[in-house]
C-alpha cells in the first residue's frame, strides 16, 4: 500500500526523534512491502526563524493533502518571549483547529522491563495499561471571552469554560469505541459537584453510554482520579475527560510508566490525524544524542493502527520496543543500572529498534 505522510520535525529534540521514527518507517516499508512517502514541512520555532510564522500556509496545505501528520515537538527558550501569535505553540493549536482534531488519545502502558524505572513501587504500576481520551478543541483553552483586563483599578484575568452537548457527545463516542477494543471500561472524569459544564458532561456521557451496553461506565471526580492514578492505576482502562483535566491527568499517567520519553499520542477527529510524542522539545537535552525516540516511534505505531489500519505492522513496532528494552538497552532517561543495562544514544536506539523489526 502507499501512504503520504507529512512530517514536521519542529524544534529542540524534535528533529532527532523524528529522524529515528523515519528509520523505523523505512524498515517497515521494506519488511511489509508498503511505500511511505514522506514530505517535510516547517512548524514551530523552526518556521518562525525561516518564514516568520509558526504555522506557514505551505505547511498547512502539506498536512491537509497527506494521509497523516507526524510531528516532533515545538517550542524553546529562544521564542519564549514572543507575543502570543508568534509563539511556536501556536502551530499546535492551529493544526488541531484546522484539521478538526477534537480527540487526543494518550496510551500509557507499563513495559515489564521498565518496572523499576517508575517512581512508584513495582506492585503499584505493574498492571498499568490505560488510555486517556482527552477532548482537545473545547473548554478553557478555547472559550471566549478571554484575556486580561482592567477592572476596579486592577488587572483581572478571564477564561471561559464552555462545552456544548454535541462536543461532549462526539468525544464520548471516541472513548466508548476505544473501550470496545480494550477492556470495555470507561471512567469519565469531571467536577460535577461544582461545575455546570461537568454536570452537562456527566449527563451526555451517561446517555451516550446507553448505546454501548457492552462497556461499563463509571464517573469520577477529577481530584479523586488524580489520587487514584497514584494509589491504584491498574484499575483504569479508558479515562474520558475534558481538555484541561486531560492535559494534567495524562502527564500524571505518563510518569507512571517511568519516562515521558516513552509515551505516544494521536489526535483524531478530521480526515487527517496528527501523531506526536507526549513530550515537548526538551531544550535541556537537545543536540546531545540523549533524547529517547521511543515515544515518537510508538506514535508512528499509532499512525499505522488508527490512520492506515495496519494492525500487524503496529504490533510489530510494539514488539520491537519490548524486545529492545528486555535486552537492557536504555536511553539516559530510562537507565537504572550501568552494570546490567546498556546506555544508548538516540540514533543507536533507533538502529536497535529497526534491527529488532
Ligand atoms: P518537555 O517535555 O520538553 O521536557 C520535560 C523534561 O522531560 C525535560 O527534563 C526533558 O529533558 C525530559 N524529556 C522530554 N522528552 C524526552 C525524551 N524524548 N527523552 C528524554 N527526556 C525527555 O517539557 P518542558 O520542558 O515543559 O517544555 C520544553 C518546551 O517544549 C517548551 O517550549 C514547551 O512549550 C514545549 N512543549 C511542546 C510540546 C509539543 O510540541 N507538543 C509539548 C509540551 C511542551
Provide mean pLDDT across the span 153-164.
97
d(CA 55, CA 86): 9
Distance 14 CA to ligand 1 centre (A): 10
Query: What pLDDT score was predicted for residue 82?
Result: 95
Instruction: Summarize the confidence of residues 221-231 as an average pLDDT.
Output: 97
| CB-CB contact of 280 with 296 (8 Å) | no
pLDDT grade, residue 337 (50/70/90)? Answer: confident
| Closest residue CA from atom 34 of ligand 1 | 75
**Ligand 1 centre and the CA of 280: distance in Å?**
3
Residue 309 CB-half CA count within 13 A: 1
Q: Residue 93: pLDDT band by 50, 70, 90 thresholds? A: confident
1-104+261-357 and 119-256 share one fold: yes
> How many Å lie between the centroid of ligand 1 and the Cα of residue 282?
4
Q: Are 256 and 128 in contact (CB under 8 A)?
A: yes
pLDDT at 338 over 80: no
Q: Which residues are tagged catalytic?
A: 141, 191, 223, 247, 251
Sheet architecture: strand order including 273-277:
35-40, 2-10, 68-73, 273-277, 264-268, 103-109, 129-135, 238-241, 185-190, 216-221
The CATH class, in words, for 119-256 is alpha beta
Query: Would you list the domain boundaries of the chain?
Result: 1-104+261-357, 119-256
Mean pLDDT of 93-103: 94
- Give the other-Cβ count within 10 Å of 299's Cβ: 25
Quick check: helix, strand or coil at residue 124?
helix
The mean pLDDT value for 266-276 works out to 96
Residues found in the chain: 357
Nearest to 25 by CA among 292, 329, 330, 298: 298
Cβ atoms of 134 and 265 closer than 8 Å: no
Q: Is the pLDDT of residue 112 over 90?
A: no
Distance of alpha carbon 187 from alpha carbon 88, whole angstroms: 33
Q: Is the pLDDT of residue 30 over 90?
A: yes
pLDDT of residue 118: 85
User: In this structure, which residue's CA is closest to atom 42 in ligand 1?
Assistant: 280
CB 49 within 8 A of CB 82: no
> For ligand 1, what atom is nearest to the CA of residue 79?
32
Q: Which of 243, 284, 234 is nearest to 118 (CA)?
A: 234
Nearest Cα residue to atom 17 of ligand 1: 261
- Ligand 1 pocket, CB under 6 A: 13, 17, 73-76, 89, 92, 260-261, 276, 279-285, 291-292, 295, 333
Residue 145: half-sphere exposure toward Cβ, Cα within 13 Å? 6
**Tens digit of pLDDT for each residue in 43-66?**
999 999 999 999 999 999 999 999
Between the CA of 197 and the centroid of ligand 1 the distance, in Å, is 31
The secondary structure of residue 285, as a DSSP letter, is G
Question: Smallest Cα–Cα separation from 297: which of 103, 72, 59, 50?
Answer: 72
**Mean pLDDT rounded to a whole number for the chain:** 95
Please give the pLDDT value at position 339. 82
CA distance 187 to 89: 30
Mean pLDDT of 19-45: 98
Q: Considering the chain, what percentage of its residues have pLDDT values greater than 70?
A: 100
Q: Does pLDDT of 315 surpass 80?
A: yes
Pocket test for ligand 1, best of 280, 330, 331, 343 (most atoms within 8 A of CB): 280
Coil vs helix vs strand at 241? strand
Share of the chain above pLDDT 90, in %: 90
Does pLDDT of 113 surpass 90?
Answer: no
Query: Which option is the CATH number for 1-104+261-357: 3.40.718.10, 1.10.10.10, 3.20.20.70, 3.40.50.1000?
Result: 3.40.718.10
For residue range 177-217, list pLDDT tens digits in order: 999 989 999 999 999 999 999 999 999 999 999 999 999 99
Amino acid at each position: 500500500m502507499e501512504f503520504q505522510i507529512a512530517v514536521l520535525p519542529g524544534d529542540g529534540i524534535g528533529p532527532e526523534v523524528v529522524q529515528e521514527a523515519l528509520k523505523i518507517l523505512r524498515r517497515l516499508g521494506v519488511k511489509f512491502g508498503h511505500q511511505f512517502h514522506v514530505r517535510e514541512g516547517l512548524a514551530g520555532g523552526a518556521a518562525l526563524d525561516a518564514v516568520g510564522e509558526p504555522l506557514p500556509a505551505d505547511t498547512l496545505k502539506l498536512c491537509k493533502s497527506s494521509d497523516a501528520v507526524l510531528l516532533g515537538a515545538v517550542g524553546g527558550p529562544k521564542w519564549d518571549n514572543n507575543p502570543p501569535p508568534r509563539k511556536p505553540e501556536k502551530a499546535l493549536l492551529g493544526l488541531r483547529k484546522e484539521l478538526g482534531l477534537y480527540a487526543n488519545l494518550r496510551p500509557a502502558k507499563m513495559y515489564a522491563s521498565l518496572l523499576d524505572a517508575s517512581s512508584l513501587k513495582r506492585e503499584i504500576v505493574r498492571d498499568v495499561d490505560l488510555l486517556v481520551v482527552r477532548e482537545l478543541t473545547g473548554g478553557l483553552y478555547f472559550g471566549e471571552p478571554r484575556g486580561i483586563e482592567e477592572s476596579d483599578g486592577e488587572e483581572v484575568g478571564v477564561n471561559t469554560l464552555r462545552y456544548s452537548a454535541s462536543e461532549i457527545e462526539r468525544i464520548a463516542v471516541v472513548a466508548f469505541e476505544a473501550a470496545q477494543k480494550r477492556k470495555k471500561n470507561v471512567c469519565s472524569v469531571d467536577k460535577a459537584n461544582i461545575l455546570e459544564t461537568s454536570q452537562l458532561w456527566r449527563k451526555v456521557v451517561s446517555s451516550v453510554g446507553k448505546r454501548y451496553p457492552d462497556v461499563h461506565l463509571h464517573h469520577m471526580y477529577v481530584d479523586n482520579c488524580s489520587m487514584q492514578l497514584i494509589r491504584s492505576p491498574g484499575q483504569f482502562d479508558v479515562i474520558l475527560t475534558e481538555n484541561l483535566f486531560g492535559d494534567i491527568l495524562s502527564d500524571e499517567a505518563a510518569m507512571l510508566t517511568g519516562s515521558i520519553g516513552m509515551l505516544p499520542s494521536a489526535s483524531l477527529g478530521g480526515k487527517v490525524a496528527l501523531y506526536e510524542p507526549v513530550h515537548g522539545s526538551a531544550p535541556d537535552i537537545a543536540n546531545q544524542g540523549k533524547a529517547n525516540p521511543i515515544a515518537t516511534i510508538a506514535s508512528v505505531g499509532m499512525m499505522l493502527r488508527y490512520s492506515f489500519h495496519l494492525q500487524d505492522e503496529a504490533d510489530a513496532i510494539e514488539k520491537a520496543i519490548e524486545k529492545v528494552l528486555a535486552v537492557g538497552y536504555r536511553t539516559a532517561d530510562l537507565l537504572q543500572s550501568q552494570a546490567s543495562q546498556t546506555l544508548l544514544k538516540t540514533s543507536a536506539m533507533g538502529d536497535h529498534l529497526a534491527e529488532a523489526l
